[in-house]
A and B are shown apart, each in its own frame.
Chain A
Amino acid sequence: MTHRSDREFRIPGLSRVEGEGALNLRVDGATVTGVELNIYEPPRFFEALLRDRGYLEPPDITARICGICPVAYQMSACLAIEDACGVEVTAEITRLRRLLYCGEWISSHALHVYLLHAPDFLGYPSVVELARDHRAEAERGLNLKKAGNALLELVGGRAIHPVNVRVGGFFRAPALEELRTLARNVLRPALDDALATLQWVAGFPFPDFTVAHTLLALTDPRQYPIEAGRPGTSTGGSFPVQDFERHIVETQVPHSTALHASLDGGPYLTGPLARYTLNHATLSPLAREAARAAGLGPRCDNPFRSIVVRAVELVYAIDEALRLIAQYEPPSPSWVSVPAADGVGYGATEAPRGVLFHRYAIDAAGTVRSARIVPPTAQNQASIEEDLRRYAERHLDLDDARLAHECERVIRNHDPCISCATHFLNLTVDRR
């Protein structure tokens, strides 16, 4: 430490995030001179342990990177492996993947909105205390989460680490009648709950704080991006998925076991804010109208209002799941054969937290030769630090405990998944 610090303290807990991290803030007078979001989640070396595995294994293995968004890992892995082998699945299989993925968006967004993020706005340490004063809202959130999990269980077999996904499609396609029953009994009521959620969170008090981040999200002129799309940016560019690593460069920093990513040399943001701003036009009419009624314009650059955007996406994911079920025809067969081929394949999908990229090199015998995974939270780390710098600088009048609390909120805006990026926040503030 080169600075002599007048004050230094630690607060146990980045809490209500997925994983273990800490924040170091250096303050020199009225200037924040250093922000380091430390991620010390122990590394698990997935890219190394995938080497020499069978080419059909990455969906199950990479799901274990994250218990919150296993479907995202399964989907990006399937796309990349199918690409390497030169196989395209049928439109029916793609739609069933989108339906499964809707389940993960519903479950993950309900978890973040109600259990991780809403307590910040209403001043509670967790949903348990929130439920003492707002029982109906807490139960609504848990019901929404349960609806997402019910969809995941029906299509995927279980909510955490689904078993029904395979390279090429699904082991078994759900029966139309099972899905219709779920739509009627679970998803229809959930849609009303999601609309009520949006109204509820839109009324939270939001700090006046905007950041014009460069944004990255998948884009698709036909539909809001979930299980596929072309990477696009707020600067107007777009590129094919196979060029991802030409634009996104990951570098290692000493204070984190997650790699830091940059887009064409600069920091950027992926996730709900980016997705919404770049794809507002392809939301369903219901979701778009609900967003408008909730006071959102076609873009959102206040990170605190990300909770409103997640609620819009909650409405969208349920609306979309209902649409997919209404049009559902069981894919038959439920999977296409993907013979091993010597090649390199690329896959990117929209995890609840943003773009998730996979690349695999496979040989003709079906052995994985190399693997590359770029998760959303690693991509967002530099932008989260930028938000922290700006927000903290405006609030240096706060005492250390209050400032720490505010910084945690800034971090939670981006729903960082530290398990993904490689959780517990210690906040250290050095003031001089």
Chain B
Amino acid sequence: MTPAKLAVWKFASCDGCQLTLLDCEDELLALAERVHIAHFLEASSAVEGGPYDVSLVEGSITTPADVERIHRIREQSRILITIGACANAGGIQALRNFGSLAEFRSLVYAQPGYVQALDRSSPIAAHVPVDVELPGCPIDRHQLLDTITALLAGRRPAIPTATVCQECKLRGTACLVVTRATPCLGPVTRAGCGALCPAFGRGCFGCFGPIDAPNTAAMVSALRRLGMTSADAVRVFRTFNAANPRFRQAAEEAAR
């Protein structure tokens, strides 16, 4: 059997999600025997053309050239998986969507005219069909391995649909809201991190993005009750998944 051809692509991002693949230290060499890594610039100078069986796409679309590039990648890829909050929801750089690009550009660059950028940072799915979205900022290593393994075995990967709250219960972490009155996005945030922040005594800040049908109105009033100002509550939803429609709506609810 020919090994599946894997490609890794980068758009506007921090490289952290593709680094997650290299962070599979125990599995990397074994994985490289099962899949053929045909395009992964961060890790290899050997570059092969498509078509590819699986493409992992990191980052958001922020330039006119990237709009073209993601279409070419989609044409070349049997399965396209977006990895992380940038690719799924525009990332932290989507904060520009709520301001003015011209102003942003002039704050960073003395001669903004040189810099090519779109007004908005948009998710991959706004441009091409996406087969699987791996959540997280960054993604979880185990979810990445499970997903690749599932695809190699020809089954649909199981991306968790539960909340961070449920992971806290499984982990045995006492609820921070109940025991310490700490604001926490656990009730509206997708599981997958293993309820990491609450285990460190920190409220969840939603880096895995929302579950499918979050009760954001109730979440906002709980955050307010726990002492967050309206502006604080807006900002907490406008961070790494700011352009996700459900968190965008939550931020609007918090602003009222």
Contacts and interface: CB of A to CB of B under 8 A. Distances in A.
- Which size class do A's interface residues fall under? 35 or more
Interface string B101-131: 0011101111100111100010000000000
Interface in A17-57: 17-20, 41-49, 51, 53-54, 57
A386 B96 CA distance: 35
B154 to A, nearest CB: 24
Given A13-B45, A42-B117, A171-B201, A66 B196 contact: no
Contacts of A393: none
A129 B28 CA distance: 12
Contacts, number: 190
A111 to B, nearest CB: 7
B115 A160 contact: no
What is the predominant secondary structure among interface residues of chain A facing chain B? Answer: loop
B252 interface: no
A66 B29 contact: no
A54 B228 CA distance: 12
Given A45-B105, A48-B96, A160-B16, A252 B10 contact: no
A158 B196 contact: yes
Contacts of B202: 163-164, 166, 171-172
Interface string B21-41: 011011011001000010011
B226 interface: no
A131 interface: yes
B46 A51 contact: no
A423 interface: yes
Given A13-B47, A44-B62, A45-B108, A65 B14 contact: yes
Contacts of B20: 160
Interface string A55-74: 00100110011111010000
B45 A54 contact: no
A255 to B, nearest CB: 9
Interface residues of B, number: 64
Interface in B82-102: 91-93, 95-96, 99
A18 B25 CA distance: 18
Interface centre among A42, A257, A408 (most CB of B within 10 A): A42
Contacts of B25: 142-143, 145-146, 149
B52 interface: no
B14 A423 contact: no
Contacts of A16: 41-45
B240 interface: yes
Nearest to B61: A42
Given A47-B107, A171-B200, A125 B46 contact: yes
Interface in B185-206: 193, 196-197, 199-202, 205
Contacts of B92: 44, 46, 49, 61, 64
A305 interface: no
A138 to B, nearest CB: 7
B63 interface: yes
Nearest to A366: B232
Contact of A54 (B29, B95, B235): B235
A157 B23 contact: no
Given A45-B93, A160-B19, A160-B138, A64 B14 contact: yes
B220 interface: no
Contacts of B117: 42-43
A42 B16 contact: no
A161 B137 contact: yes
B79 interface: no
A15 interface: yes
A171 B199 CA distance: 10
A424 to B, nearest CB: 6
Interface in B28-82: 28-29, 32, 37, 40-47, 62-63, 66
Contact of A57 (B16, B137, B193, B235): B235
Given A67-B15, A160-B16, A172-B200, A48 B103 contact: yes
A390 B199 CA distance: 53
Interface string B141-182: 000000000000000000000000000000000000000000
A159 B23 contact: yes
5 contacts: A42-B63, A43-B115, A157-B197, A171-B200, A419-B13
The 6 A-B residue pairs with the shortest CB-CB distance, nearest first, are A67-B16, A126-B44, A125-B46, A48-B104, A15-B45, A146-B25
Interface of B: 10-20, 22-23, 25-26, 28-29, 32, 37, 40-47, 62-63, 66, 91-93, 95-96, 99, 103-105, 107-111, 114-117, 121, 137-138, 193, 196-197, 199-202, 205, 207, 232, 235, 239-240
